[in-house]
Amino acid sequence: MPPETRYAKSGDVNIAYQVVGDGPFDLVYVPGWISNIELMWEEPAHARLLRRLSGFARLILFDKRGTGLSDPVSADRLPTLEQRMDDLRAVMDAAKSDRAALFGSSEGGLMSVLFAATYPDRTRALIVLAIYAKRLWAPDYPWAPTPEAREAEIESIERSWAGDMDISELAPSADDAFKRRAVTYLRRSASPGAAVALLRMNSQIDVRPVLPTIRVPTLVLHRVDDRDVKVEEGRWIAEQIPGAKYVELPGDEHLIWAGDVDAVVDEVEEFLTGTRPVQAIDRVLATVVFTDIVGSTERAAEVGDRRWAALLDEHHAIVRRELERYRGREVDTAGDGFLATFDGPARAIRFACAVRDAVRALQLELRAGVHTGECELTGEKVGGIAVHTGARVVGAAGPGEVLVSSTVHDLVAGSGILFEDRGEHELKGVGSRRLYSVLDA
């Protein structure tokens, strides 16, 4: 469950904020362009970012005025950077935080820069990711888009706000499901008028004169292939801040919660605590289930991109509904396939059969592979030979078939589940295994 949402008063505006964790120091997370602090917890990658930050600090997060759960603003009263800085101070006061580290991404980093320079006594450290100093091109700032290109981008966003907004520049490598969730999150974080007005306001910001005045410990992070804010901007910004540490990370994502979230938080944690986190690896017995839509490429070509995207959304909703019903945990999804884990093999089999049967109403045929073995748990991920075996088992399954390993077959003895012996199969990389097809679960 997300933490309780509270409100701080900044002048006559109510600013929504949350506090989570009880670490030895305060850390304020300042989101980019627009946000919604309650919806953040619904996106697994975003929630992971927040959980990890709150694991070593008392985390404070908030929605800037005009976005999310904070008060809206009218078009003729757009917030200035100074007012947004006042909002940050109001949130810290309400959360009883005398001094905090600031972590801002994209446009949120600009407000963090101004606050750190203005209130060094209240700033423990400054950390920024994917920030720019100026949003429009100039001869002495050649990395930003031209005014014409920027305006064309803003107009495109306004036109597509209620439709298929293109965020491929913000998360190029993300799968389509992630992009659809991200678009929904942005749409629910601000009205189109507010979102566009804030983009135009951000286009006028220029914090270059502020950078040399920062006197607090500073970490500048930038993903090397970020398409929205060029890596050259990150390098130049770090050079302007006295004593700043600069770290480049792999990836092409601009959104902070896209891509390798752990790599970002590892750098933040080491900078603030002096210790780089070591991800503990636990080993547990678990049942892994792989599902896969049969003939997905042909089906997509048959119905077209728009209908296929809608079918995938319905398919994903069915899978997640049955995961909840059978107490499974979603580990990963790539395209039309899912990887999930269960603490019992019988529930895993019944889950796979339930999903297979339910998606037939969508005229989709699904196959599944189930295997039980010792898995390595690293954060939210699973690995080890058991996972590789599960992937090979689903690869051997036919259309509409739920195929299980002999280990699963033996463990569910007495459950009433009926099987047909499929004989020995040579599974690439994991050896020979006897497999069984589920006849009745």
Q: Residue 295 pLDDT > 80, yes or no?
A: yes
Give the pLDDT confidence of 206-245 residue by residue, as tens digits.
Answer: 999 999 999 999 999 999 999 999 999 999 999 999 999 9
Give the pLDDT confidence of 340-375 residue by residue, as tens digits.
Answer: 999 889 999 999 999 999 999 999 999 999 999 988
Instruction: Please tell me the predicted confidence (pLDDT) of residue 23.
Output: 94
Cα–Cα distance measured from residue 269 to residue 307, given in angstroms and rounded to the nearest whole number: 43
Instruction: Please tell me the predicted confidence (pLDDT) of residue 75.
Output: 65
Give the pLDDT confidence of 303-313 residue by residue, as tens digits.
Answer: 998 999 999 99
CA count, 13 A, side-chain hemisphere, 340: 29
Give the pLDDT confidence of 46-67 residue by residue, as tens digits.
Answer: 999 999 999 999 999 999 999 9
Hey, what domains does the chain have and what are their CATH numbers? Answer: 6-273 (3.40.50.1820), 281-440 (3.30.70.1230)
Q: Residue 78 pLDDT > 80, yes or no?
A: no
Cα–Cα distance measured from residue 116 to residue 121, given in angstroms and rounded to the nearest whole number: 8
Instruction: Please tell me the predicted confidence (pLDDT) of residue 279.
Output: 61
Q: Residue 259 pLDDT > 80, yes or no?
A: yes
Give the pLDDT confidence of 83-112 residue by residue, as tens digits.
Answer: 888 999 999 999 999 999 999 999 999 999
Instruction: Please tell me the predicted confidence (pLDDT) of residue 430.
Output: 83
Instruction: Please tell me the predicted confidence (pLDDT) of residue 93.
Output: 97
Q: Cβ distance 47 to 16 under 8 Å?
A: no
Q: Residue 76 pLDDT > 80, yes or no?
A: no
Highest-confidence range of 73-87, 159-173, 274-288, 414-428, by mean pLDDT? 414-428
How many other CB atoms sit within 10 Å of the CB of residue 331?
20
Q: How confident is the model at residue 270 (pLDDT cuts 50, 70, 90)?
A: very high
Instruction: Please tell me the predicted confidence (pLDDT) of residue 47.
Output: 92
Q: How confident is the model at residue 162 (pLDDT cuts 50, 70, 90)?
A: confident
Q: Residue 2 pLDDT > 80, yes or no?
A: no
Cα–Cα distance measured from residue 258 to residue 194, given in angstroms and rounded to the nearest whole number: 24
Report the chain's terminal Cα–Cα distance, integer Å.
33
pTM tops 0.85, yes or no:
no
**The Cα angle at residue 142 between residues 82 and 252, in degrees rounded to 5:** 85
Q: Cβ distance 364 to 321 under 8 Å?
A: no
Backbone angles phi and psi of 64, in degrees to 5: -65, 155
Write the secondary structure of the chain as one string of H (helix), E (strand) and C (coil): CCCCCEEEEECCEEEEEEEECCCCCEEEEECCCCCCCCHHHHCHHHHHHHHHHHCCCEEEEECCCCCCCCCCCCHHHCCCHHHHHHHHHHHHHHCCCCCEEEEEECHHHHHHHHHHHHCHHHEEEEEEECCCCECCCECCECCCCCHHHHHHHHHHHHHHCCCCCCCCCCCCCCCHHHHHHHHHHHHCCCCHHHHHHHHHHHHCCECCCCHHHCCCCEEEEEECCCCCCCHHHHHHHHHHCCCCEEEEECCCCCCCCCCCHHHHHHHHHHHHHCCCCCCCEEEEEEEEEEEEECCHHHHHHHHCHHHHHHHHHHHHHHHHHHHHHCCCEEEEEECCEEEEEECCHHHHHHHHHHHHHHHHHHCCCEEEEEEEEEEEEECCEEECHHHHHHHHHHHHCCCCCEEEEHHHHHHCCCCCCEEEEEEEEEECCCEEEEEEEEEEC
Give the pLDDT confidence of 38-48 residue by residue, as tens digits.
Answer: 999 988 889 99
Percent of the chain at pLDDT > 90 equals 74
Q: What is the mean pLDDT of residues 173-185?
A: 88
Closest CA to 421 of 411, 408, 406: 406
Q: Cβ distance 224 to 102 under 8 Å?
A: no
